[in-house]
Amino acid sequence: MSREQTGWVIRNVRVIDPFRDVDSIEDIYVKGEEIGEPSLSTDYSVVDGRDLWLVPRLTDMHVHFREPGFENKEDLLSGSRAAAAGGFTAVCTMPNTFPTIDIPSLVQWQRDQAKNIGLVRIFPIGAISKGQEGRELADLYQMACAGAVGFSDDGHPLRDARIMRAALGYSTTLGRPIIQHAEDPALSEGGVMHEGSVSQQLGLPGIPEEAESVMVWRDVELAGLTGGLLHVAHVSAQGSLEALDYAKRRGLRVTAEVSPHHLFLTDAMIREWNFKPVTKVNPPLRPDGTRQLLIQAVRRGLIPVIASDHAPHHQDEKDRPYNEAPFGISGLETFIGTILGVFIVDGLLDPLSLFRLVTVEPHKVLGLEYPGLTVGAPADFTLIDPQAKWVVDGKKFYSRGKNTPLEGTWLQGRPVATMVGGQWTMRDQEVLR
């Protein structure tokens, strides 16, 4: 863009803005870093938005960018590029790095790095316990002051109910949620996939759904005891949904997220992939019956958030046998195609309702503010071509993690441009850094 130009105008675009509850054809003006007033000036560079959707502040509240410590899997730059390519303008990074993000200076460091990279807004999540060891509470207050938007020992569950109780107690004063990776390790130990008929046929050790749901039930009770803000990460079990229903009936401050792969795929994929660990993820892919219940739970608002749980690994690690490969799927760059496939193509949700789950709802869970596309708001938005049909090719991912069970799958719907603070970060599938 040359210096004389005033900004950008996206013309005749279908604006889907869940922050303002708007779904209509509009022209969106960008001036400097912000949404500008409509203008008759000819100094704006024009983008033809016909047949495209424009969604503000797409937010993935669960990603693993692995820096510091595991940069061979992903770092803040490669993760940010994957986020921009996937259409995201904001992400929340999980603290299971080395060292663990459990002190305010590390929270600040991640935010500074993200600002320098400038591709996506990063809202760090701090650890609940020091070193994520589950023994001693980290300084949640100081981390919140440094900008941590929530707390999690994700990667591991927080097992000690006494520490969980204390953390939930703090969450009420801080206004930041405690995000639990719900898993009872005694029940899941040694398991590599969902425990059921497929694991029996394949002879692989299983993880029962109850390994998750017993922990969700416990935490819901602790949320009741403390009045705390509990957010359940990557829900994947029928019993967890019942615990969430119970929490809702009691009026507790409990929210949850589900990952696109649990909505789109089942444990039968493990057979289809012939034991290739592309499907290995924790919690594991579930049978179709559970998948259907998760979709229904999203439709009726019981699960308010969809988050990728983007968990990249180095290819060498994922090339190991199924029992030995690490858990995790590279999810940022297939996110939109997947959720459009599940909910829009089949007509299960309208776009405005669907995009609430990746915009206004994660903002509510985390206590973040964004006014929607109003004059003066940061110009953070994504242009999506809902008709684009494309084949997933992990080699082309910007993420260092090329591991996806969707390899070779046709998806419909794709982000075609991403803007953060008035700067394009991606255009025509090309990340601009």
Which residues of the chain form contacts with Zn ion (CB under 5 A)? 154, 181
65 annotated to a ligand binding site: yes
Q: Whole-number minimum distance, CB 96 to Zn ion, in Å?
A: 9
The residue type at 58: L
CA distance 165 to 159: 11
The residue whose two tokens read 């990249």 is 312
> For residue 416, with 0-12 CB atoms within 10 Å meaning exposed, 13-18 middle and 19 or more buried, which class applies?
middle
Q: Which is nearer to Zn ion, 33 or 210 (CB)?
A: 210
Q: Whole-number minimum distance, CB 131 to Zn ion, in Å?
A: 17
131 annotated to a ligand binding site: no
Q: Whole-number minimum distance, CB 92 to Zn ion, in Å?
A: 13
Chain position whose Cβ is nearest to Zn ion: 181
Q: State the first-to-last Cα distance of the chain, in angstroms, to the nearest integer.
A: 15
Q: Which is nearer to Zn ion, 103 or 158 (CB)?
A: 158
Q: Which is nearer to Zn ion, 17 or 153 (CB)?
A: 153
| 17, 267, 309, 380: the active-site residue | 309
Cβ within 8 Å of residue 255, ≥6 positions away: 177, 229, 230, 231, 232, 304, 305, 361, 365
CA distance 11 to 28: 7
282 annotated to a ligand binding site: yes
Give how far Cα 130 sits from Cα of 11, 34, 137, 327, 381, Å.
Answer: 50, 39, 6, 23, 36
Q: Which is nearer to Zn ion, 74 or 154 (CB)?
A: 154
363 annotated to a ligand binding site: no
Per the DSSP assignment, residues forming a β-bridge with 122 are 91
Q: Whole-number minimum distance, CB 214 to Zn ion, in Å?
A: 16
397 annotated to a ligand binding site: no
Active site residue 43: no
* Residues noted as catalytic: 309
Q: Give the residue numbers of the binding site for substrate.
A: 64-66, 96, 282, 313, 327-328
Q: Give the residue numbers of the binding site for Zn(2+).
A: 62, 64, 154, 181, 234, 309
